[in-house]
Chain A
Amino acid sequence: MLESGYVACRGLCDTPVMDVRPVIMARSLVKRFGDFTAVNGIDVEIVPGEAFGFLGPNGAGKTSTMRMIGCVSPVTDGDLRIFDLDPSTDGREIRGRMGVVPQLDQLDTELTVAENLLIYGRYFDISRRDCRAKADELIEFVQLAEKRDSKVDSLSGGQKRRVSIARSLINDPELLLLDEPTTGLDPQARHVLWDRLYQLKERGATQVITTHFMDEAEQLCDRLVVMDGGEIVAEGSPQGLITEHIRREVLEVRFGYGRNEQQLPALDGVGSRIEVLPDRLLIYDDDGDAALSELHRREIVPESALVRRSSLEDVFLKLTGRTLIE
C-alpha cells in the first residue's frame, strides 16, 4: 500500500517525521469560483503514513481543497505538490497513485458490487485478471462478500459507502482521500467504517479525511486543521488542540431557553471561561466537578447540569463562536 521510497526512510533512518518528504504540500493555496473565494490561502503539509483531517462546518472549503488535491479542480493560486509532482502537469500520474472516496457516492448503481470494482480497476489500466483478484480481496476487506453479486442499488447507505471505499483501493493507493466518509450514516454503520479505515491506517496508507463531526476527527486523525470560511483557524493533534485552546472539562448547565445569559453575573469567577449558547452555558474548567460544587455553594440551581470532557467541538466554538453543526 505504500511507496517504499517514502516510508522505508521513516523506519530505517529514524528521522523526525517532518524531515520526510511530504506526500502533500500546499502553500497559500487558493480556490476561487468567479468572485467567490472558497479556499483562501491555506498551508498544509502531510507526511507519509499520517491520517490528516480537515475539520470544519458545511461551506468551510473542505471539498474544494480535496478536489484540488485530487487533481480534478485547477488551483487558482498558490503552490500545491503531491508526491512531489505538479497537479497541473502530472495530474494523470498523481491520480493513478491515489484513491478517492468522494463526498457523494459515484457508484454504478445498476451494476453489481463486483462489476463496480472491475470497471473502476480498468480505469487504472489494471489487467482484468488482476482486477478480479483484487476485487475479491477488497470485497472481503469491506465485509461485503455475501453482496458481491448484488446490485449496488439494493445496498444500504453504509454498504454503498463501503463499496466506495473498496473501489478507491483497487489501485493500491499510496494516498487515500476521504471526503466526509460517514456523513448520513447511522452510528453502527459509522463504527464499521471507522474500523475499516483504522485497519487501512495500520497498514500504512496516508489518509486525508474531511469531516464536520468532531468525534470522527478525534477517532481517525493523528493531526488536523480546523477550517472555517476557507481558512485554517487552528492546527494540531486532536488532544493538542484541546489542551492548547480550552480546559480539559466542560460543565454544561441549562437554565431554560433564553434565560441562560442573565445568569452570567451570578457565575462570575466560576470556571476559566464561559460560552453562551441559546440553550445552555458551557463552563470550561480543568475540574468540571469543582465548578459544579461552586455552583451549589452559591446556591445556583440550573434545570440540568452535566460534566463532560472537552472536545474539538468546543475548540471550534471558541475559535469561531459557532457550532460545527448548525
Chain B
Amino acid sequence: MHTIASLGPVRVYNREWTYFRLVWRTAVFGSVIQPLMYLMGIGLGIGELVDGGPAGPDALGGVSYFAFYATALIATTPMFVLGQESLWPTMDGFTWSRAHQAMIATPLSSRDVALGKGLYFGLRGLVAGAGVVLVLACFAETRSWGLIAAIPVGVLTGLSYAMAFAAWVATRDTDNSFSALLRIGIIPMFLFGGAFYPVDQLPPVLEAIARVTPIWHGIELCRGLVLGGLDPATGLLHLLVLLAFVTAGSIAASITFDRRLRP
C-alpha cells in the first residue's frame, strides 16, 4: 500500500487528468489563439512604431520589438492560465465537489493532494507554454532551438504563482476575493514584469520590486534562451529563483492543505 509514497501525487494528478480530457480541446485551442492575438495586437502594431523610432532596433539591444515581446509570452501565458487554474478548480476540491476530502480518506495524504495538484498545474503550464512556442516557431525572428528549452521555464514561472495561489485558496471559505487576486496579483505582473519593455525603464522603486517577481526572472530567462545574449551564470540564477518560488509555494500549499483538510 503506497510503499512508494511518492506515487501519491501521481494518483491525484491522474484524477485531474481525467477531468482535463473533458476540456482539452478548448485548452489547446486557447493556448494557441491567445498568444497569437497578443502578438498581432501588440507585437506587430507597437513593434512598427518602436523599431522605426529614433533609437531604431538598438533600443532593445539589437532585437526587434516583436521578438522582444513575443518571447515574454512564453512565461506570461502559463502565468495567466495557471493563475486561473489554481483558484476556482482548487476551491472546487475543497468546497464544491469535496474531491480533496475524498482523497485523504484513502492512503493519500494532504501533501499528496497539494503536490498532485502541482503536477496537474505543470501539465496545464506545459500545454500553455507549448502553444506559445508553436506560434513563435512560425516566425523567422523567434524561430530557435531555445524555444524548446524555454517551455519548462514558462511552466516554472506559472507554477511559482499557482502553488502560492493554491496555498492561499486552502485558507479561504469563499471565492469572493479570487477575481481581485487576479487583478492585483497577475495583471500588474504582466504590465510591470518586463514583458513590454526592459524593467530599467521603470522608476527605481518599481524596478527593484519587478526584479524580485517570478515573472521577471521567467521572462528574462525565456528571452535569453530564445534570442541569446544571456550569460550562463545569470541564466542559472533565474532558474534557481524560479525553483525556489515553486518549492516555497509547494511547502506552503502542503501546510495549508493539511490545515484545511484535517481540522
Contact = CB atoms under 8 A, between A and B. Distances in A.
Interface in A99-157: 100, 102, 104-111, 115, 119-120, 122-125
Nearest to A104: B98
A102 B101 contact: yes
A314 to B, nearest CB: 35
Contacts, number: 74
Contacts of B140: none
A77 interface: no
Given A92-B109, A108-B15, A122-B14, A72 B262 contact: yes
Contacts of B11: 122-123, 125
Contacts of B19: 108, 110-111
A179 to B, nearest CB: 11
A125 B107 contact: yes
B104 A106 contact: no
Main secondary structure on A side of the interface with B: loop
A114 to B, nearest CB: 11
A96 interface: yes
Given A95-B106, A102-B101, A72 B1 contact: no
A172 B108 CA distance: 17
Interface string B89-108: 00000000111011111111
Contacts of B7: 125
B263 A124 contact: no
B2 A110 contact: no
A101 to B, nearest CB: 10
B180 interface: no
A185 B59 CA distance: 71
A95 B105 contact: yes
A91 B112 CA distance: 14
B262 A123 contact: no
A120 B7 CA distance: 14
Contact of B18 (A74, A93, A115): A115
B233 interface: no
Interface string A232-265: 0000000000000000000000000000000000
Nearest to A111: B18
A70 B108 CA distance: 13
- Does more than half of chain B's interface fall in helix, strand or loop, or is it mixed? helix
Interface in A15-59: 33
B108 to A, nearest CB: 5
Contacts of B261: 72
Contact of A119 (B14, B107, B263): B14
A124 B105 contact: no
B184 interface: no
A272 interface: no
A202 B232 CA distance: 69
B22 interface: yes
A22 B99 CA distance: 31
A73 interface: yes
B101 A119 contact: no
B1 A106 contact: no
A122 B263 CA distance: 25
Given A74-B262, A111-B19, A125-B2, A92 B107 contact: yes
A72 B19 CA distance: 25
Nearest to A74: B262
Nearest to B12: A123
B175 to A, nearest CB: 18
B102 A124 contact: no
B107 A108 contact: no
Closest 10 CB pairs of A and B: A106-B102, A123-B106, A106-B98, A96-B1, A96-B107, A100-B105, A92-B107, A119-B15, A122-B11, A123-B11
27 contacts: A33-B263, A70-B105, A72-B105, A73-B262, A74-B262, A91-B109, A92-B1, A93-B107, A95-B105, A95-B106, A106-B99, A106-B101, A106-B102, A106-B105, A107-B97, A107-B102, A108-B19, A110-B19, A119-B15, A120-B106, A123-B103, A123-B108, A124-B1, A124-B106, A125-B1, A125-B11, A171-B106
Interface of A: 33, 70, 72-74, 91-93, 95-96, 100, 102, 104-111, 115, 119-120, 122-125, 171
Given A123-B103, A123-B107, A125-B11, 7 more contacts: A72-B262, A74-B262, A92-B2, A93-B1, A109-B97, A119-B18, A123-B11
